[in-house]
Structure 1
């Protein structure tokens, strides 16, 4: 099997770019392509990251933010993350082990046509006539801005049953992957990866209820009122302006992200959090 590998290096990171160049030189028997920004840095041809959806494997070199970007762009292609960040919940491979790990993954693909990996749920946020790009970490619904005078009244329903309604800066719905991100900063619980759950967490609510952990198959509805403008945001990037009263439905998306390579030691990564 002829294996096609896409390589995406963290923008403006010379260490990541140098490792990308090393991988290109090392993977002589694979068809390798790099993202356009990296291509300029290492003087080679590049392609849009979105075109790497046609590859058999994409290597993300950088922090978790780089991998989130790759996951948005590269469709269902398995991703192997090389960690150059501080914590690395999604990137399990160290730079020193990157060449061997990628070579092993390519050899497995060549020999079997498949690759071992674990699937991570993503969230789909949708309203009347629209939907956002799937979120690996979280979907947030909030008012025009954080703080005094900028929130909205948001009712939370789970499978049609009301859990809470309060004026709040916003409400976030997180996957287990996203429990360590925005959710944690808002006082939400940590959830071990692989748990079939979602987290619902109010942000600075006037009449707050505790963060709620629900089954991954739950249908979550966020009804927004009491504000002139509100927003639904997927992983901090994909955004939809709302005109309250408006309703946002959040559920697990049909297309998960597949992480290739070794698993991150979740508890070891937690020790690196400040």
Structure 2
């Protein structure tokens, strides 16, 4: 586990070489923010299995990000036959029975800086070559996550990226302020009124929840203000207009997931960032969280 800290916050980041994320990781192993601790309010983030101290690595916790090698519907993006490129993770192999395994991993260089951690990999496989940089930076009460992907090969790279932050519920519920012009179709899980997203009911357990999509105003960056049991708020924002925006929650957490659809021509570079602004302590402590890494 790697750590960043200042007078307000401590950030736990998984070591991409020793993260315990065996099998085929769902999330990028570099810059995987596992937990953020407030100096007085305690741990601030959740996960689908909270408070399980060793959650399934597929579910994770904290503020993970992912580079998809297939769409949510299962269509291949960075696959050639039975081999796939998982950007930031390694090379995948699909067996005759449909099982996917990770056959080789990316090698990550970790460059610790003052209140920052920089992760760098250059990977060549399946006719592609790319450089991926992941930067996590602590600024007072804010946490910045930056990704930079450069196509250094001779063929285009097409993939999807998404963030999957796991926010904490307050008495089993979430409230989120969203940009003007946001809309949400009628559904059984969430309601949107006057740009405020709420739950229609408390979910009962890990498997009870709801998945849906927000329609955000065109060409505008995402800005969301989320409730928190131990802070007055958490502000979450993107440096880009999301191509899609998913919302999901269960009895333990809520997530708002901005997506990017990326196609990089040879020589092209794309950079984007997320920002989390952690508000003032409300004077209460968060419910007990576990900040351990997942078990191997």
Provide the TM-score with structure 2 as the length reference: 0.27
> Greater helix share, 1 or 2?
1
> Greater strand share, 1 or 2?
2
Provide the TM-score with structure 1 as the length reference: 0.29
Computing the radius of gyration over CA atoms, which structure comes out larger, 1 or 2? Answer: 1
